[in-house]
Amino acid sequence: MSRARRSFSPELLESVRALSVNEALDRLALYWKRDPDFVPVKDKATVRLNVSLPGGGSVELLVTGQKWYDTRAGQGGGGAIDLVMHLLRVDFVTAVKTLGDFSR
């Protein structure tokens, strides 16, 4: 018996991919704070965010546009979906559902 493969609408994927890192963190209801003392070395647009995770952990992210890098884990990515997958340790489908599950 074959199961029909369901996929996300192009509109949903486009809207989720367009989210900034800050918007993604807000949608996850995570507390984050920009480090006002951070001085970027390479790109002046880079900011450092300290993010509190559920369960008491925290991460330090360097963010330039939609690209992010977790300095403690030594891992980075590009966009909100990658960020959710990294922070929450979930797969692509769960990350998209998590980011897309909101009311505007």
CATH number at residue 70: 3.90.580.10
- Can you tell me the mean pLDDT for 44-54? 96
Q: What pLDDT does residue 2 have? A: 56
Q: What is the pLDDT of residue 98?
A: 94
Q: Which domain holds residue 61?
A: 10-100
Within-domain flag for 70: yes
Note the pLDDT of residue 103. Answer: 41
56 domain-assigned:
yes
* Residue 88: inside a domain: yes
Give the burial string for 4-41 (b: 16+ CB within 10 Å, else e). Answer: eeeeeeeeeeeebeebebeebbebbebebeeeeeeeee
The pTM is what? 0.85
